[in-house]
């Protein structure tokens, strides 16, 4: 098949080698995690034009080239909306499309593109949120989520339209006036005035978002997933956890069940996306821990795999506690020995390593 598919496949062996949690995007947004998906998409596109299977595929599968042509993978890929973006999504589509074919063909095809094999795919169950769970304070239905709004593997920023019945009743008058004046300023092409009003709206916790060529006034909410704890971005697998959560919620509208607010002003919530319970998904992927100190739900505990985070059980809460204790110890030492030195012996907090 095409040159670009061959080039991308040649990168699979290099990009899929274990590295120190590198997820930086390369050409055309292709990363180590998505190079196999990109190669497959390019090969399927070329197949629709040339009807030729990629070179080297026959060395990995048992079916003949004539049989491979009848697998109808390009049709399945084209009909999937939106098309697969992650290796897991691509693998699921291949497994479903080739479910009546030999196992050797399925596994050989996935191996050829460096995609997850069937036995290591995470089984996700479709969950219907309870209508009114105990302790629920309020419920949100968000606008489509920008993947850049995902801060880490257990938190994100979402926006809810002020046209929502609950939101429309609590929009501050100051925000309503600023939004109206901004619209008038843009109509009169007073863009400097409009920009100042936009900043004022943002500072008040709202934002004007463009959706389908229309401006929508929305309220900002910071969300913390209830009952789980994911690695910080600077920790091992932290970036991977962040990307996994972003892959699920990108461009999706979420149902958010809010139970509490933490000391940072974040909503502690259960979040659902197209029937997927986000906390369950992150636990099953091994990219988060069950936060048992604050959440004793057995269904979350059952979702935690034994191979948690590739065998590393150094939890973010433990690391934060360690840093806090070390800092307190240093402060205590400073207070005790301060009389004996004219130089403060305590190093910068930013330089403390536990």
Q: Has 232 been annotated as catalytic?
A: yes
Q: Which of 232, 255, 261, 297 is catalytic?
A: 232
Q: Which of 9, 182, 240, 266 is catalytic?
A: 266
Omega before residue 143 within 30° of 0, cis? no
For residues 113 and 12, the answer to whether their CB atoms sit within 8 Å is yes
Token representation of residue 337: 């020995």
Phi, psi of 174 (to 5 degrees): -60, -35
Token representation of residue 28: 């055309």
Q: Has 266 been annotated as catalytic?
A: yes
Beta bridge partners of 74: none
Q: What angle do CA 135, 245, 304 make, to 5 degrees?
A: 65
**Three-state secondary-structure class, residue 350:** helix
Q: Of 98, 120, 100, 119, which is closest to residue 109 (Cα–Cα)?
A: 98
Give 212's Cβ-side CA count (13 Å radius): 3
Q: Has 299 been annotated as catalytic?
A: no
Q: Which of 219, 224, 226, 240 is catalytic?
A: 224
In angstroms, the CA 292 to CA 300 distance is 9
In angstroms, the CA 226 to CA 195 distance is 36
Neighbours of 37 (CB within 10 A): 24
Residue environment code for 62-73, b if the CB has 16+ CB neighbours within 10 A, otherwise e: ebeeeebeebeb
Report, as residue numbers or ranges, the catalytic residues: 224, 232, 266
């Amino acid at each position: 098949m095409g040159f670009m598919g061959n080039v991308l496949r040649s990168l699979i062996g290099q990009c899929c080698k274990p590295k120190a949690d590198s997820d930086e995007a390369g050409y055309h947004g292709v990363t180590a995690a998505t190079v196999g998906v990109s190669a497959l998409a390019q090969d399927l596109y070329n197949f629709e034009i040339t009807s030729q299977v990629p070179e080297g595929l026959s060395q990995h599968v048992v079916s003949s080239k004539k049989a491979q042509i009848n697998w109808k993978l390009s049709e399945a890929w084209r009909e999937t909306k939106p098309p697969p973006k992650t290796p897991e999504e691509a693998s699921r589509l291949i497994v479903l499309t080739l479910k009546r074919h030999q196992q050797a063909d399925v596994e050989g095809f996935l191996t050829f593109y460096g995609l997850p094999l069937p036995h290591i795919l995470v089984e996700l169950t479709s969950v219907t949120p309870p209508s009114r769970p105990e302790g629920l304070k309020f419920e949100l239905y968000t606008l489509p989520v920008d993947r850049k709004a995902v801060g880490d593997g257990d938190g994100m920023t979402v926006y809810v339209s002020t046209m929502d019945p609950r939101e429309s009743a609590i929009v501050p008058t100051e925000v309503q006036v600023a939004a109206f004046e901004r619209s008038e300023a843009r109509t009169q092409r007073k863009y400097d005035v409009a920009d100042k009003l936009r900043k004022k709206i943002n500072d008040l916790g709202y934002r004007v978002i463009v959706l389908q060529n229309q401006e929508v006034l929305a309220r900002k909410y910071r969300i913390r997933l209830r009952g789980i704890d994911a690695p910080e971005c600077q920790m091992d697998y932290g970036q991977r956890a962040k990307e996994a959560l972003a892959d699920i919620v990108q461009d999706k509208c979420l149902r958010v069940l809010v139970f509490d607010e933490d000391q940072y002003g974040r909503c502690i919530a259960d979040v659902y996306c197209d029937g997927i319970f986000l906390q369950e998904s992150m636990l099953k992927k091994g990219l988060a821990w069950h936060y048992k100190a604050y959440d004793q739900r057995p269904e979350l505990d059952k979702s935690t795999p034994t191979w948690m985070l590739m065998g590393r059980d150094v939890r973010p809460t433990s690391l934060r506690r360690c840093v806090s204790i070390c800092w307190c110890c240093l402060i205590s030492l400073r207070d005790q020995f301060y009389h004996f030195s004219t130089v403060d012996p305590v190093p910068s907090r930013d330089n403390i390593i536990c």
